[in-house]
Amino acid sequence: MKDTKKIKVDLKDNPYEIIIGSEIISEIPEIISPIIKRKKLYLMCDENVGSIILPQIKEVLDTAGYELYTSLISSGENSKSFNVLEETISELLDHGIERTDTILAIGGGVIGDLAGLVSAIIFRGINFIQIPTTLLAQVDSSVGGKTAINVIQGKNLVGAFHQPKAVISDVNFLSSLPEREIKCGLSEIIKYGILGDKDFFSWLQNNREDLSNLNQECLIFAVNKSCSMKAEIVKKDEHEKGERALLNLGHTFGHAFEKHFSNDNLLLHGEAIAIGMAYASKFSASIGVCSQEDTDSVINLISSYGLPVSLEEIDGKISQTDIMKIMSHDKKRSNDKNTLILIKGIGEAYINEEINDSQLVDFFNQENIH
């Protein structure tokens, strides 16, 4: 496989590879053959990519002699629910899925999360393989084994850690994505520069036009860099007992915003995280741990990629009370204290587990959120 990058996620019990390249669909049978126990595959696919990418994948798998069953899942966060989880498991059981079978998750983060959780709990765990088709999923959600559904109290509160057996990321898939979805993926890429790599942050500043225009060399570099950074963190802390929380930079604020606007399509995940990272940087400056210069650099980089950096840019209303209520259910909250991922500077994220509600109230007042 020429021009293909491979990253080893070197976990003690569940090692696997991330394969990143362009036009590597034809290589899928070769990649998965050492993993598959029998030649029957269950494909869980986002209905939005069902007519574009799915036929190409099915053709190469059919040619390689695999028996296939396909389950199309509605797009959007509403599919990450108990109802869809139960319906999907029942459907797979009705079609004869066995413990030795493998699920292929083909789509964005929603499909990866749902298929991963189905794989984690059906027969107490079967194999699954991630084939992410969005930039956001390729650089973040497909790697690391977090699987989850949403509940009324918040995002990703019910789930399991269940590592895939492989992640296959073809950047050629991204050409069919709407511009808004591309920007959402760029938000997560920017996150890696902010949290742990000043040189990558500078690269993002210098290569904005090529990356935004989906230059394949730049894309492969950015996806590889993001996945490599995440793989190193996951290797040290697979089940998020410590350092892995750094990957949640922008997510405590962002998930609250995303949850509030979830039914209106006013704010997608990557957009919410962009605002969340801007606010995390501002909060860091407000408590004196980060310089205003670095905070401004973070906000300017996010904004330069066409992403929002303030709730004032969203055509909807959210109150301080709304935000605080949702944040009270955050997974990282402990002993009535909030955990925020903050920055001491560009490339220097850290975990602060001692944020009082009163500090958040003061910050929201400062940002004219009442």
Q: Which domains does the chain have, with CATH numbers?
A: 5-176 (3.40.50.1970), 179-366 (1.20.1090.10)
Measured in degrees and rounded to the nearest 5, phi and psi for residue 349 equal -80, 155
pLDDT-derived band of residue 336, with 50, 70 and 90 as boundaries?
confident
Measured in degrees and rounded to the nearest 5, phi and psi for residue 91 equal -60, -45
Cα 211–17–233 angle (5° rounding)?
70
Question: What residues does 159 pair with on adjacent strands?
Answer: 148
Which pLDDT score, from 0 to 100, does residue 2 have? Answer: 53
- Residue type at position 309: V
| Active-site residue set | 124, 146, 188, 230, 240, 244, 248, 251, 255, 269
pLDDT-derived band of residue 335, with 50, 70 and 90 as boundaries?
confident
- Residue type at position 77: E
Which pLDDT score, from 0 to 100, does residue 265 have? Answer: 81
Mean pLDDT value across residues 339-363:
96
CA distance 121 to 117: 6
Q: Give per-residue pLDDT as tens, 34-92.
A: 988 888 999 999 988 877 899 999 999 999 999 999 999 998 889 999 999 999 999 99
Least confident of 47-56, 214-223, 229-238: 47-56
Q: Is 236 exposed, middle or buried (0-12, 13-18, 19+ CB in 10 A)?
A: exposed
CA distance 71 to 97: 12
Cα 98–161–90 angle (5° rounding)?
35
Give how far Cα 50 sits from Cα of 43, 70, 103, Å.
Answer: 10, 10, 16
Mean pLDDT value across residues 191-201:
98
In terms of Cα–Cα distance, which of 291, 284, 288, 220 is closest to 2?
Answer: 220
Give how far Cα 20 sits from Cα of 191, 237, 265, 277, Å.
Answer: 19, 23, 30, 26
- Residue type at position 170: D
Q: Give per-residue pLDDT as tens, 254-297.
A: 999 999 997 778 999 999 999 999 999 999 999 999 999 999 99
CA distance 128 to 167: 9
Q: Is the pLDDT at 177 greater than 60, yes or no?
A: yes
